[in-house]
Structure 1
Amino acid sequence: MSDLTKRLQAVKLFAMDVDGILSDGQIIYDANGIETKAFYVQDGVGLKALKEQGIILAIITGRNSPMVARRADELGIDHVVQGRDDKFTALSALADELGLSVGECMYMGDDLPDLKAVREAGVGVSVPNGCAETQAVADIVTTKSGGHGAVREVCEQLLKAKGAYDAFIAQYI
């Protein structure tokens, strides 16, 4: 068993950024100046599967957006931290609050504010459309881009490491 697989098996908290991870990173305003976001539906199915396996889900984002709160509510993400660019500090505080070590956390991010959290988490993840510096410190760089199935890809990898992937698929057969 690889070191990465052992670290994946130890994950109890999956925290992620939003822009560039759950969305494609674009910020779009409508004619009234209201920010909108598009979320990839398959990511949501993967996140719900993790929650069913007892993985704690969290969002840590630098922006404040009602769309993020709404999507988190739809997916049952209980921990939503908005308006924080100090992602590692926020991740550490959340881990402490939950009685976890940072080593039991997976963090997924794409840009410089995410770099330390990606580097210091038990498993750090980035995306191919992420900045080079964050990709360089990540344990995993997904094949799919943020907002286009990257989160689902990681969910499936985590489910496989924990031996829960076949049961996840079986419920749809």
Structure 2
Amino acid sequence: MKRFIAITALTSALATGAFAASEAQTDLINTYAPDVDVSALSEQQLNDAFSVANSGESDTLKRSTIESIAMTERAPSTFSAEQLAQIEAYLPSETVMMMTGEQRADALAMINSGMDDTELRGLLNAMGENMVPGLTPAEISRVETIAPEADLTVLSAEQVSRLRALIYTDESDGQIKGRVLDIVS
């Protein structure tokens, strides 16, 4: 019984320490980048963001770097109002609403990179001109009917174009399901 109590106490102490470290990391990262969802970061992203937060760089640079780290490897499916407003400072809101998650993430990465404002505007305007609008709600519904397991949260412009071309064919749902899943995987 004494061993059981000792093991339980030791386990509790170790678990509490691990939780406190995670909470400390979250607090420090959110001090510089409050919009970053630390719980959604991979272990590597978390370590990188924590290292940046502990660095001697300026607060502005820490924020932009942490946000860039959070955006790498995956584009978020949702964006905060502040993030959308950052993009809308350079592009019309109609254009921003048609952007895919990947395009929005790319735009935010450019905005937070610290590049010259004139160069940034040029790049973002070019991005807006070459942009393929995201799937409409009706198109999303159609794809979900064909392949309910398809992940449509983050699609590239090429994937949107390919899906759009595929769902408007005369083929049956069963015939195109496999190709839909290939496109979104």
| TM-score, reference length from structure 1 | 0.26
| TM-score, reference length from structure 2 | 0.24
The structure with the greater share of residues assigned to strand is: 1
The structure with the greater share of residues assigned to helix is: 2
Greater RCO structure (CA 8 Å; 6+ sep): 1
Give the greater-gyration-radius structure (CA). 2
